[in-house]
Structure 1
Amino acid sequence: MSLPLEDYALIGDCQTAALVGRDGSIDWLCLPRFDSGAVFAELLGTEENGHWKLAPVGEIKATRRRYRPGTLVLETEFDVDGGTVRVTDCMPPRDELPDVLRLVECLRGSVRMRMDLVIRFDYGAIVPWVLRTDNGISAIAGPDMLRLRTDVPLHGEDFHTVAEFDLSEGQTASFDLTWYPSHEREPRQVDHSGTLRDAERWWREWSDRCSFGDGSCDDALDRAHWSEAVKRSLITLKALTYAPTGGIVAAPTTSLPEHLGGVRNWDYRYCWLRDATFTLYAMMNAGYHEEARAWREWLLRAVAGKPSQIQIMYGISGERRLTELQLPWLPGYEGSSPVRMGNAAFDQFQLDVPGEVMDALHQCRRVGLEPMGASWNLQKALMDFLETVWEQPDEGIWEVRGPRRHFTHSKVMAWVAFDRAVKGVEQFDRDGPADRWRGLRDRIRREIFERSYDPEVGAFMQSYGSPFLDASVLMMPLVGFLEPTDERMVGTVRAIEQRLKRDGFVDRYETDPSVDGLPPGEGSFLPCSFWLADNYALMGRRDDAVRMFESLLAIRNDVGLLSEEYDVSARRLVGNFPQAFTHIGLINTAYNLSAATTHPAEHRQHS
């Protein structure tokens, strides 16, 4: 059975990623891409759905783990009676084929180890044909081939490949698992130690480019654990980037539940446009302009075409058809079913998407990261489309599966789209009907004030005429729609504190089946908690902002990772893991708190 999410660490090669448990088991890995079928799927089922465990035989007295500083190379140490071993796990950044390298070193005494490899292609459904080789095994089923190379003797047990071996102090054993298309020639064996050194060097050189804590922050913020949290989040974000295209997946997993035992289980191995501006902001502030440019160019390629056909999300290469299917042979994480691949939300109508695209490209221009030549023509066509649809209801940022509504956040982002179009003309000498765009911007603003604000509650509500609150309205000051000290925004923050804040963390919205079409119940949404910290900072409530930020840092697992949500009752991370949107929020809030201290007027993220 799978472990609590806190017990997993991430390794990856910037094209796919694996989750490694504290017990030494790789329980999730899709090959060769993030969105491919899983070859290890115990995370969503049982060991018979695939895993690769490498751990001592017998009782483990203590476990310690860490990433090598500035890298995605994972070290796990196990203490047992008689000795200590270290397992080092790594997926080297690759040009072509994916490798998983595992090295066992005996640090003290003598330890007996056991390896248990269960390969199941297609999300745990297909048992491959396994052949013994002179230095390991090969496993084939249809288009997929896995090749395990090791000097440790292997044997089969009930469709598992296993090994038991003894190591004494100073001795090592290595394992190299490679995927390749079954119709192609077997790839050459890698130099294990050299490849590991190269991977470590690659990650350190990349992470050393991070600018946070380089003296640009004040002394109060230049703390080791803040800098470490930002760097770890940036490394995680890089690991979730599909290097060939620059697309960034929301998470490397599917169907990890927002509520344990519930049905809110979605496939997050795709790229959401709603993340675009936040992602660019995080990367550019940290000094990663090359990655920001790659993400920007992925964005432009993905949305190219007829503006009315723009989607809220795309595949990692810009694919549009993300058909949702259920995988009934997998029981789900802790019984949370159904397990899904694909995401039906891809064909939803979300009015905020044009605003996200316009804002992202505006931010690129502000920092001199000029979009490709045809981008302004694309933007103008997008604005023509938005003029015809902004008055329509939509499914909103949270992709509700209930009836469409006039969601406040969606209308705010429509305002953002027209605002950034106007600024394209005013600030960057682009051509366009600025007067018409300006008039529409002002009209949307008035409508939001008239129809979204409830004077009895003293807050902006989830949608026009709604009795429910929604934390997405915390975006209003962050996108420059409203001053953070405006009494209506102050009242909105107060209402969110009273009705959406639970044990220090913020829920997305007040769930109701009539709104989202699903049974109620989910964890607190961590990005919303970061947004509240941002609002505190903007309002001058710096102590509250820092407390909020520190409480979020405190729920990271031991290797610095966060999921999408947090179950305040169970004190557990829930939702897909690790979550890019959450780590982006951590990065941006750290920078925003710094800006609020050193240059308060420069704090606003998107204006």
Structure 2
Amino acid sequence: MASPIEDYALLSDLHTAALVSRNGSMDWLCFPRFDSDSTFGALLGTPEHGRWLLAPDGAHEGTTEPLGAGPAGNASGGTPEAPAENGQKLPADTAASGADTSSRDAVADAKATEGGTATEQVWHDAAQGGSGVVNPTGAPSHQDNTKDPREGHGRSAHSERSSGRATGADDAAEAERKRRRGAPVVVERSYLQSTFVLRTCWQTATGEATITEFMPVGDRRASVVRRVECTSGHVTIHQEIVVRFGYGEAVPWVYRVNDEDTGAESIVAMAGPDAVVLHGSKLPVAEDRRHRGDFTLQAGEVADFELCWFPSHRKVPAMCNVDQQLKDSVAYWRDWCSRFPPQGEYHEMVKRSLLVLRAMTHESTGGIVAAPTTSLPEQFGGERNWDYRFVWLRDAALTLESMMTHGYEREALEWRNWLLRAVAGDPEDLQIMYGLAGERLLIERELGQFPGYLDSKPVRMGNGAMCQYQGDVIGEVMVVLEKLRNLGEREDHFSWPLQKSLLHYTEKHFFDHDHGIWEMRGEKKYFTHSRVMMWAAFDRGVRAVRDHGLDGEDDHWARQRDELREEIMEHGFNKEINSFTQSYGSSEVDASLLVLAQVGFVKYDDDLMLGTVARLEQELMDDSGLLRRYRTEAGMDGLSPGEYPFLACSFWLVEQYAQTGRIEDARKLMDQLVGYANELGLLSEEYDTANERMAGNYPQAFSHLALIRAADAINGHAQQAL
């Protein structure tokens, strides 16, 4: 069984990504691209669908925290608590990890007396003026660890960084934790500061170990590196690797090879066009179509492993220089973050969100995936399971906006160039989404070999929404490209003619119903949000001519814009409920209506907008204070009803509150939302507040994009107040 979604860490090499659970199991990895077939697919099934476990012996299979726990304590923002064995309440730092803190403190005291291990002394030296990147064994410095990006906000304000998950487990889970008392526990997990290099510190009955893992960046080498170091006593490590290409269906041919130069032995797994090689000094052995093995490290000893993908017709690649790759990867991420300006409140969460967006951007093409996963459910046990490993024009446009407003103009231009390539050709062939390099054929099919995450079926690859007409998409693109012009970026012989063709496309589909921003699979309608975004497209076309001196049919576009406005005000606003509506002639509302103020259709404090906000709070806000996208029970989306609150919608509400002077409401909701992130600062698409569980694909670009906008709104209000 896969871990709770919030238990996973993201690793990225800017070409693909891996998800590693808190218990040390790498359960999701697609080589060599985000949208490739899975090599490890246990996230959607069982270990038989592929995974790589590396953790202290006795710690595997969910011993670090019971299933059902959420990220970081209670929703009220108070100190999280958990039941103790005698019925008393334990402080959060004790309850969260299940560790024996007295033994942990004793170890810490002993180290302080002895001056620490040799490794720790190097860490200390680095903190006093050394490089602080790697020590002679390559182990990162404690001083470099990212502090919990949620620190000081809401649910996480009193949580220990190493926990990052809810307490107060049910009776069965508590009994399970008692049964496993004495098993290895994670006492700290974090990224190195401003990187995607993950450090997990384990404590066992015999010693302590740190596992450092990352994907090398910059050399186009498709690999994952995992380093195990014993930092005190001795620790026995258990390893199990199950390689299954082709979404869990292709069992590879496995054999051993020796390096021609060093004689070192490695394990190769091959099936069809794909092959991987596992390098390392402590290789597992074959056992029942998988490889398992245990090894023991003494204090100061290190074991390195690298799993490297390569085309099966090519020579087996040699093992990388782990120290150098670690140093280079840390340097890459920190150099990228060096352009990030101070943000005021929520600085760490905004930085981590931008890092997530960068991690999900393909280095070569500039394409930005909506998420690196497929089919993590929007409702556990339900059918709302979609493949998000593609580039939505809407999401990518919003990413461009976040990048260019936070010091990353080069990345914004890379995306603009991706857009030009992807949509080049007949505008009638325009899609709402593309592959990483602009591929158009993203045929959706079901993968019946997977039982699905928590039995959520079907598991899908590809996305049938590629064929949908969504009227809002051109508006999203035009709004962002207008902001790029306002920052001084010049249009060229290709970029502006393409935008004019997009406006002609919008005009040609002026009277067409669409599927809406949420990709409804029911009847097409005139969705108010879509019509407003069409208004925004024509409006930005007019501005391009009148404000920036570009050539174009500004008078004609202005007439189209004004006609749309009259239509929207007549059919998209319901006077009886004093609110804009989800679609024309309806009394249903939709959280996407919060975007109307963001694009300037109405002002944030317009009475029409304030009435809409009141209606949204009345109809779509759940008991925890989060917004749903719309009422699925109304049946307009063609699917069975039921889903959890969509996090981006509540971040939009934060922005609306901040822009209309409800700053305390904005901060309260923002703190609550930030508290739903795990201790690494990662957010999923949705959140199940009843069970304190993340839901939906993960990590989700849209959630992190909306977080950035919300933080900007709060910080903008603070600056105005000054």
Q: The TM-score by the shorter chain falls in which range? A: over 0.9
Distance 1:378 1:335 in 2: 45
Q: SS at the partner of 1:115?
A: strand
Provide the residue aligned with 1:3 in structure 2.
3
Question: After the TM superposition, which residues 420-499 of structure 1 pair with which residues of structure 2 at under 5 Å, given as runs?
Answer: 420-499=540-619
Q: Deviations over 1:200-241 (max 9, x none)?
A: 11111111221133xxxxxxxx24xx1111111111111000
| Among candidates 76, 79, 100, match of residue 224 of structure 2 | 100
Distance 2:561 2:399 in 1: 25
Residues 113 and 276 of structure 1: CA distance in aligned 2, closer, same or farther (over 3 Å): closer
| Among candidates 613, 627, 649, match of residue 528 of structure 1 | 649
CA shift at 1:512, angstroms?
A: 3.6
Equivalent position amino acid for 2:243 in 1? I
Structure 1 residue 83 corresponds to structure 2 residue 207: yes
Provide the residue aligned with 1:595 in structure 2.
716
| Among candidates 89, 95, 114, match of residue 238 of structure 2 | 114
Q: Deviations over 1:163-189 (max 9, x none)?
A: 210011111101011000001122232
Q: SS at the partner of 2:630?
A: coil
Question: After the TM superposition, which residues 289-368 of structure 1 pair with which residues of structure 2 at under 5 Å, given as runs?
Answer: 289-368=409-488
Distance 1:360 1:463 in 2: 25
Distance 1:38 1:98 in 2: 14
Provide the residue aligned with 1:200 in structure 2.
330
Which one has more relative contact order, counting CA pairs under 8 Å at least 6 apart?
A: 2
Distance 1:357 1:483 in 2: 21
Distance 2:283 2:661 in 1: 64
* Contact persistence 2:645–2:687 (CA under 8 A): yes
* Contact persistence 2:240–2:284 (CA under 8 A): no
- Stretches of structure 1 that go unaligned for 5 or more consecutive residues are 214-221, 602-607
CA shift at 1:565, angstroms?
A: 0.7
Q: SS at the partner of 1:516?
A: coil
* Contact persistence 2:223–2:308 (CA under 8 A): yes
* Contact persistence 2:531–2:568 (CA under 8 A): yes
* Contact persistence 1:364–1:371 (CA under 8 A): no
| Among candidates 173, 190, 195, match of residue 320 of structure 2 | 190
The alignment's TM-score, normalised by the length of structure 1, stands at 0.96
Q: Deviations over 1:362-386 (max 9, x none)?
A: 1111112234421211122221221
Distance 1:208 1:353 in 2: 32
| Among candidates 494, 500, 509, match of residue 380 of structure 1 | 500
Q: Deviations over 1:3-35 (max 9, x none)?
A: 001100000100000000000010000000000
* Contact persistence 1:62–1:80 (CA under 8 A): no
CA shift at 1:328, angstroms?
A: 0.2
* Contact persistence 1:120–1:128 (CA under 8 A): yes
Structure 1 residue 276 corresponds to structure 2 residue 276: no
Q: Deviations over 1:26-67 (max 9, x none)?
A: 000000000000000000000000000001112223442000
Distance 1:248 1:7 in 2: 24
Distance 2:43 2:189 in 1: 20
Q: Which has the higher strand share?
A: 1
Provide the residue aligned with 1:166 in structure 2.
296
- Stretches of structure 2 that go unaligned for 5 or more consecutive residues are 59-182, 259-264
Equivalent position amino acid for 2:338 in 1? D
CA shift at 1:584, angstroms?
A: 1.1
Deviates further, 186-195 or 159-168: 186-195
Deviates further, 502-511 or 58-67: 58-67
Distance 2:479 2:405 in 1: 16
Q: Deviations over 1:272-319 (max 9, x none)?
A: 111233212210121011111111111121111111221111111001
* Contact persistence 1:102–1:176 (CA under 8 A): yes
Distance 1:180 1:400 in 2: 39
Distance 2:235 2:388 in 1: 39
Provide the residue aligned with 1:570 in structure 2.
691
| Among candidates 262, 278, 285, match of residue 148 of structure 1 | 278
Distance 2:40 2:247 in 1: 7
Q: Deviations over 1:316-335 (max 9, x none)?
A: 10011100011001000010
* Contact persistence 1:56–1:111 (CA under 8 A): yes
Provide the residue aligned with 1:138 in structure 2.
268
CA shift at 1:497, angstroms?
A: 0.9
Residues 580 and 372 of structure 1: CA distance in aligned 2, closer, same or farther (over 3 Å): farther
Q: SS at the partner of 1:412?
A: helix
Q: CA RMSD in A?
A: 1.3
* Contact persistence 2:398–2:476 (CA under 8 A): no
Q: SS at the partner of 1:506?
A: coil
Deviates further, 276-285 or 396-405: 276-285
CA shift at 1:410, angstroms?
A: 0.3
Provide the residue aligned with 2:51 in structure 1.
51
Residues 133 and 393 of structure 1: CA distance in aligned 2, closer, same or farther (over 3 Å): same
* Contact persistence 1:505–1:529 (CA under 8 A): yes
Structure 1 residue 552 corresponds to structure 2 residue 673: yes
Deviates further, 484-493 or 385-394: 385-394
Distance 1:264 1:434 in 2: 42
Distance 2:525 2:496 in 1: 30
The alignment's TM-score, normalised by the length of structure 2, stands at 0.80
| Among candidates 66, 82, 85, match of residue 190 of structure 2 | 66
Distance 2:701 2:541 in 1: 28
CA shift at 1:600, angstroms?
A: 8.5
CA shift at 1:599, angstroms?
A: 4.5
CA shift at 1:513, angstroms?
A: 6.0
Equivalent position amino acid for 2:668 in 1? R
| Among candidates 519, 528, 537, match of residue 399 of structure 1 | 519
Structure 1 residue 538 corresponds to structure 2 residue 662: no
* Contact persistence 1:61–1:81 (CA under 8 A): no
Q: Which structure's CA Rg is the greater one?
A: 2
What percentage of residue pairs aligned between the two structures are identical?
48
CA shift at 1:408, angstroms?
A: 0.4
Distance 1:412 1:241 in 2: 29
CA shift at 1:70, angstroms?
A: 0.7
* Contact persistence 1:406–1:464 (CA under 8 A): yes
* Contact persistence 1:401–1:517 (CA under 8 A): yes
Residues 48 and 270 of structure 1: CA distance in aligned 2, closer, same or farther (over 3 Å): same
